[in-house]
Amino acid sequence: MLKRWAVAASIGLLVAAGNGVAQEGDKGAVQAGQPGAGPVVEPAGQPEVGRAIHFDLESVKGKVTQDAFPGKYLLLAIGYSSCPDICPTTLFEFGEVMQALKNPDAIVPVFVTIDPVNDSAERLDQYVRFFDERIVGLTGSMKNIRALSDILGATFGYRLDGKKLENPEPGVPYSVYHSALIYLIGPDRKLADVYDYQMGPEGLTQELDRVLGEPAKAPGKKPDADKAGAEKAGNHAPAEGAAPAKGDAPAKADEASAVPAGETSASASGLGSARVRVQPSV
């Protein structure tokens, strides 16, 4: 398990180095247009299990709402593609869990960006698929992202030079802060459970296996009732014109052993199979 977390931490460092992000206060380390990493914060409120979840976002394939993926659970986290540690750790965990689940087809992992200024649908899709091809990246308007965040009780925001920034703009080296929880949404699109991202792949897999259970087995083909009853009764009579089954008495004598006209078989009189010529009466 320590090895897996070391890999996740390494991924986070690589992402940070590649995007030029920095912790809040590290002035000059953030490239233009790339948000830095602010502190992890507590959720805005206690997530309400059983609450209906609604959202109107988009993926690289188009519009995605809560009605997408019918009949499946959603495993959802918020973050952004330039995040140096929490987000890659969470997505690495998603990938590990999807590989280990007994019933992975019953759930869809979803990552919602909180930095739509920089995270286009295409950029986000490329980012999340690095961890697992099944992860769906969602972006959208700031209004719709905040609406989902409020429903989940999640927190996120932006800072520039230590001050809160309400409306981030492209090209501004702002930092981002957000809460870090994992949300399980049921097929009825109600919040089913909430997990700490630090519980690890093994712990999350155990929890989800308990919820998702085993994959359903395809029902076997049932034998025809009449046929089964006939076989049970020993009725093996061949169909008309069909060869008799082995061990069954033939319905009539073979043509090769038929008695010609005017002859009779002596076997009925105990004379073996010799044929006796019957003389016609004069």
Q: Which residue ranges make up each domain of the chain? A: 2-21+39-212
Return per-residue pLDDT of the chain as tens, 282 residues.
333 333 333 333 333 333 333 333 333 223 334 455 544 555 556 788 999 999 999 999 999 999 999 999 999 999 999 999 999 999 999 999 999 999 999 999 999 999 999 999 999 999 999 999 999 999 999 999 999 999 999 999 999 999 999 989 999 999 999 999 999 999 999 999 999 988 999 999 999 999 999 998 866 655 455 555 555 555 555 555 555 555 554 444 444 444 444 443 333 333 333 333 334 443
> Into which CATH architecture does domain 2-21+39-212 fall?
3-Layer(aba) Sandwich (3.40)
pLDDT of residue 228: 52
State if pTM tops 0.85. no
pLDDT of residue 243: 54
pLDDT of residue 240: 53
From residue 144, give the alpha-carbon distance in Å to each of 87, 112, 116, 138, 177.
20, 11, 11, 11, 18
